[in-house]
Amino acid sequence: MPTSKAREDVKTDLNALKEDLKSVGREESARLRARAAEAEAALREKAEVAREKARVYYDDARVRGREYYDEAAERLDEAQRYLVERVQERPMQSTAIALGVGVVIGLLLAGRRH
């Protein structure tokens, strides 16, 4: 049977081991918190870079879209002016053409019903 001195030595060793484990646990916990903070900072930085890239792409697309819209609107205005000028130059011919196109479309639509 172990003596009381041996028991005391074991208890002392266990207490020392318990304190060592607590100390290691605190150190490891602090190390993990520091690594988590580093990872979070890196993630935030990457997110900011991605956000900035998305903002640049959006701005570029918005500018290009506006350019395309302006160009299309200008071409439509030119086509409308051209059409108005031609109708004013030759009103009878324009009316006859419009009537002919209307008749053709009417015949095509009527032919589909039968």
Domain limits at 66?
Answer: 4-113
> Is the distance from CB of 86 to CB of 94 less than 8 angstroms?
yes
Residue position matching structure tokens 């108005």: 84
Categorize the per-residue pLDDT at 114 as very low, low, confident or very high, splitting at 50, 70 and 90.
low
> Is the distance from CB of 87 to CB of 94 less than 8 angstroms?
yes
Is residue 112 scored above 70 in pLDDT?
yes
Look up the pTM and report it. 0.48
Number of domains in the chain: 1
Taking only the tens place, the pLDDT of each residue in 19-46 is: 989 999 999 999 999 999 999 999 999 9
